[in-house]
Chains A and B, each alone.
Chain A
Amino acid sequence: MKNITILFFGKLKETWNTSQLKQQTTSATIQELYTELLQLTDEEPHKGSIKVAINDEFVTWNTNIKDNDVIAFLPPASGG
């Protein structure tokens, strides 16, 4: 079991109704964690447009999760 922190930004904060979750997980990868997190929301976010980061670095969906990781789910940027 790993202790992780999950950050949601933009519209995804509304999808999960929070900007931060402290969670224990057995998920091995970001993809597995995301599937786990979908159980906490009734919405179906468009996964293809979401970017993911671990500890302030962009990563891919199949990246492994480690204990104490801070994992961020980012909707498409809309700055400028």
Chain B
Amino acid sequence: MFKLSETDINESELRKETRDPACGGFVCFEGWVRDHNQGKNVQELAYEAYPKLAIKEGNKIIAEAINKFAIKKAICTHRVGLLEIGDMAVWVGVSAAHRDAAFKACRYILDEVKSRVPIWKNETWVDGESGWIEQDSTIMD
């Protein structure tokens, strides 16, 4: 299941949701807001989404992962709104009978979410300026 969250991501709750008695492995990725990007000192950032389409596309990616890899459950939650340094921006968790599929599926979900789900990052830097960020973390012209 893919969700957008306007408040702090509750990773222990998500981890519980991912548990399954048939699973022997769990792989998780947490993306955090870092204090620098492209040589600039980041003050804070804001994620904007097109919610209906983001949830639809995110769930499509989860379904693809379940179809492609031998996994049991997969969950991804992405923050929207204003985030501070150190806040969690995205959480991906995958449970599977064996570790290999869980690692691969976790990577797949994260990569696809980053490139396909309509969410946009706007950074505000310590110098007071701000800008939209590209998929590869560069600053848009």
**Known contacts A78-B119, A78-B135: A11-B140 contact under CB 8 Å:** yes
A48 proximal to B (CB < 8 A): no
Q: A77 to chain B: which residues have CB within 8 Å? A: 114-120, 135
Are the CB atoms of A53 and B116 closer together than 8 Å?
Answer: no
Please give the number of chain A residues whose Cβ is less than 8 angstroms from any Cβ of chain B in the complex: 17
B134 at the interface (CB under 8 A from A): yes
A78:B53 contact, CB within 8 angstroms: no
User: Please, how many angstroms separate the alpha-carbon atoms of A79 and B92 in the complex?
Assistant: 13
Contact, CB under 8 Å: B110 / A53 = no
Q: Hey, what's the 0/1 contact readout for B87-99 against A, CB within 8 Å counting as 1?
A: 0011000000000
Contact A76 B134 (CB under 8 A): yes
Chain B positions within 8 Å of A11 at CB level: 120, 132, 140
Q: CA A11 – CA B121 in complex, angstroms?
A: 10
User: In angstroms, how far is the closest chain A Cβ from the Cβ of B11?
Assistant: 16
Known contacts A9-B48, A10-B48: A79-B117 contact under CB 8 Å: yes
**Bound Cα distance from A80 to B140, whole angstroms:** 16
Measured between C-beta atoms, what is the minimum distance from B105 to chain A in Å? 16
A78 in contact with B132 (CB, 8 Å): yes
- Could you write out 9 A-B pairs with CB less than 8 Å apart? A75-B132, A75-B140, A77-B116, A77-B120, A78-B133, A78-B134, A78-B135, A79-B117, A80-B89
The 5 closest A-B pairs by CB, nearest first: A79-B119, A10-B120, A80-B114, A11-B132, A56-B52
